[in-house]
Amino acid sequence: MPEKAKRLSGFGRFPWVETHLLRPERIREVPQALSRGPVIGRGLGRAYGDAAVAPGGRTVSSLRLNRFLSFDAERGIVEVEGGVRIDELIRVLLPRGYFPSVVPGTRQVTVAGALACDIHGKDHHRRGSFSRHVLDFELFLPSGDRITVTRERDEALFLATAGGMGLTGFISRLRLRLLPVESAWMRVDTERTKDFEEALERFHASDASYDYSVAWIDCLARGRALGRSVLLRGNFARRSDLDRRRATRPFEAPGGAPWRVPWTAPPGLLRPATVRAFNTAYYHAHPKHARDRLVGLDAFFFPLDRVADWNRLYGPRGFLQYQLVVPEPEGALALRRILERLAAAGAASFLAVLKRFGPAEPGALLSFPRPGYTLALDLPNRGEETFALLRSLDRIVLDAGGRVYLAKDARLDPLTFRRMYPEYERWLAIRRRVDPEGRLASALSRRLEIP
């Protein structure tokens, strides 16, 4: 199989890492690709940091392993290869009345990547994370062994792979339970809150009425407006909710081709003043309170996909995404401290995302979600200034008993990682069982000193 020398990064375009990219065409070629380390699986490279690249080693792309294998329309179960994208699942299955049970903020991720990061969506409080809807999956180990992993047969390996960042094997096939839906439309309620305490209050008061809930939060607002937010919450519309015209074609909702950022922006394009103006405009563009608007699912779930390659706007040094979760109720104070620090630093972040997680997956090891508040924000990479700021946020998160999300991370240190993920040693014992030589390795695993 040909290997191509490449410099690869994650979605944040930081860091760039030298590697050799392999693209198996058939599942039977995977063992050969894994035969020499360091080696790691890669999907669409939408993890923000350095998780999906093997430094100086082999990065094995799943993108040509993208076949649909079976579909049980009665039970809503689909079996696909690991390189199938959420985008393809939606295109193929929505007209048949099904939607993926958990989707991230972009359609452009693979199902294997989704399991390796155990991704969450706006419905985490209702439906948990991605792995909850995985019935079983096939894993190639560095030894060449090919195993079908179910909760019943090997629960430990199932749990270690969900959120295990590709470090337990190469995921080649998955069986997923889908969500039955009656249309491609959402019934959405919008609320503007004056500050972030009010946003948290609204989550507590009424998240139970919505399957999907999220807030866009203005991280640059200060003083009494600290953390002012726009809450967007909704449910899939039933066919009976649609007018006659829409009800005749319930699975057609406006999409439209994305606008593409044609080049990497010059350094400094996203100055705090620009971002502040954008955030203010976004906040005021929403009504104080609007009920029951009918919105196409792309506009609701994937607004960022409207601008393809928007990550280039951050310029040649790229950017860092920081996503944290802190437990309730103490976490509210930690969030306040974080927002104050960001606002004081004038650290430009386009509207950040705030959400309330539901319970964690039972027995979860490295899977990120824990009950509490999660905040995700983007910061342009300004070198040490940005790293120092993020280290100070790490301390606040740790003190509150929280953690940061590895799928977004490019700079956490080994000790902080271990303190944030107390199940790490148990996870490591399972990894040692399936990869005793530590052949599966990424820039992230090296940085975190995972043996």
Ligand X SMILES: Cc1cc2nc3c(=O)[nH]c(=O)nc-3n(C[C@H](O)[C@H](O)[C@H](O)COP(=O)(O)OP(=O)(O)OC[C@H]3O[C@@H](n4cnc5c(N)ncnc54)[C@H](O)[C@@H]3O)c2cc1C
The footprint of ligand X (CB under 6 A) covers 11, 40-47, 51-52, 62, 82, 104-106, 109-110, 112-114, 116-117, 119-121, 165-166, 170-171, 304, 407, 442
User: Could you tell me the smallest distance in angstroms from the CB atom of residue 190 to ligand X?
Assistant: 19
If the CB atoms of residues 148 and 248 are measured against ligand X, the closer one turns out to be 148
Which parts of 101-168 are beta strand (E)?
A: 134-140, 146-150
If the CB atoms of residues 242 and 310 are measured against ligand X, the closer one turns out to be 310
User: Could you tell me the smallest distance in angstroms from the CB atom of residue 436 to ligand X?
Assistant: 18
User: Could you tell me the smallest distance in angstroms from the CB atom of residue 247 to ligand X?
Assistant: 30
User: Could you tell me the smallest distance in angstroms from the CB atom of residue 277 to ligand X?
Assistant: 22
Contacts with 388 (C-beta within 8 Å, 6 or more apart), sequence order: none
Contacts with 167 (C-beta within 8 Å, 6 or more apart), sequence order: 40, 431, 435, 440, 441, 442, 445, 450
If the CB atoms of residues 237 and 407 are measured against ligand X, the closer one turns out to be 407
Which parts of 211-344 are beta strand (E)?
A: 212-217, 229-236, 259-260, 289-296, 307-308, 319-326
If the CB atoms of residues 416 and 442 are measured against ligand X, the closer one turns out to be 442
User: Could you tell me the smallest distance in angstroms from the CB atom of residue 93 to ligand X?
Assistant: 18
If the CB atoms of residues 119 and 343 are measured against ligand X, the closer one turns out to be 119
Report whether 330 contacts 400 (CB < 8 A): yes
Q: Which residue is nearest to ligand X (CB)?
A: 43
If the CB atoms of residues 149 and 339 are measured against ligand X, the closer one turns out to be 149
Residue 7 CB burial class (10 angstroms; 0-12, 13-18, ≥19): exposed
If the CB atoms of residues 141 and 221 are measured against ligand X, the closer one turns out to be 141
User: Could you tell me the smallest distance in angstroms from the CB atom of residue 121 to ligand X?
Assistant: 6
- ∠ CA 104-154-109, rounded to 5°: 20
Q: In 10 A of CB 145, how many CB atoms?
A: 11
User: Could you tell me the smallest distance in angstroms from the CB atom of residue 171 to ligand X?
Assistant: 4
Identify which of 96, 95, 94, 116 has the alpha carbon closest to the alpha carbon of residue 107.
94
Pairing of strands 372-380, 319-326: antiparallel
Contacts with 347 (C-beta within 8 Å, 6 or more apart), sequence order: 219, 272, 379, 386, 389
If the CB atoms of residues 143 and 341 are measured against ligand X, the closer one turns out to be 143
Cα–Cα distance for residue pair 268/234, rounded to 1 Å: 36
The alpha carbon of 349 is separated from its chain's Cα centroid by a whole number of angstroms, namely 18
Q: In 10 A of CB 446, how many CB atoms?
A: 16
User: Could you tell me the smallest distance in angstroms from the CB atom of residue 378 to ligand X?
Assistant: 10
User: Could you tell me the smallest distance in angstroms from the CB atom of residue 407 to ligand X?
Assistant: 4
Cα–Cα distance for residue pair 375/338, rounded to 1 Å: 10
If the CB atoms of residues 79 and 241 are measured against ligand X, the closer one turns out to be 79
Contacts with 329 (C-beta within 8 Å, 6 or more apart), sequence order: none
Report whether 335 contacts 400 (CB < 8 A): no
If the CB atoms of residues 11 and 98 are measured against ligand X, the closer one turns out to be 11
Cα–Cα distance for residue pair 17/347, rounded to 1 Å: 26
If the CB atoms of residues 43 and 76 are measured against ligand X, the closer one turns out to be 43
Return the residue matching tokens 């695993």: 445
Cis, peptide link before residue 15, omega less than 30° from 0: yes
User: Could you tell me the smallest distance in angstroms from the CB atom of residue 214 to ligand X?
Assistant: 9
User: Could you tell me the smallest distance in angstroms from the CB atom of residue 112 to ligand X?
Assistant: 3
Report whether 323 contacts 50 (CB < 8 A): no
